[in-house]
Structure 1
Amino acid sequence: MSNEPDGSLLYEAITGKQHRLEKGIETPAFMIELSDTLLINVHIAAKRLDILIKDQEVFRYIGDLSFSGLDEEGKLLFHSLGINHVHFNNRNIRIDNPECKMSTIFVKLSLDKKRETEKKLQGL
């Protein structure tokens, strides 16, 4: 890890490759490269994955997926100030965000619902 003149920080991913992160990004336990333009910062204690996208050679925070409510409430939380729209079932249902009011999405997970859906898909 080292500081750059523009305030960005050089950080090493698990592959050994270094990437420039914008100033203010929380140091992760480790960083995973998903592509040349997409990084995932893993925060184990916070039960959170930060999503970083590359812009002008610097990776910038765009959102996060939190697992902190999964144990207690069975919920995942996705947060981003950059949500353009959300779609479900391969774009059959779409919710646009033209007024930038949507920044948090909760997803309630249930094993009972999974079993019910599997039965429906199997025609039972």
Structure 2
Amino acid sequence: SSWACKGEETVNQPTADVTAAEGHTVTLGCKFETSVTSNAYLFWYKQEENDFPKFLLRRYSGTKNTQDSQENRFNAEVNNKSVPLKIQKLQVSDSAVYYCALRPTEEQRGDYWPPPTLVHLSQ
């Protein structure tokens, strides 16, 4: 039997539900753990009603990320085992389900998808 200890990857979105007004900024939390030996790719996806999840952005846990261009209202920075998604100037079309997913850099490891965060726009 092998004595090598395999690290565990976890990812979770602490808030299941966010409500905000049009034009405001919301931040969706996503916390993750990776094994000591590997970094991971973090992804944010947006799923609108009756549609499949669409890719928003990707980050790598091993580097400090520069900010996305200002025209892009969606931004995420990796910071201390966290990769919160910031949505600025909230629009009606942003009302959707948001998934944060983790992919270990080691080969032959699956992706991790926690329960998502639902964003509602208040009337």
Q: Which has the higher strand share?
A: 1
What TM-score bracket applies, with the shorter chain setting the length? under 0.3
Relative contact order, CA 8 A, sep 6+: which one is greater?
Answer: 2
Larger radius of gyration: 1
> How high is the TM-score relative to the length of structure 1?
0.26
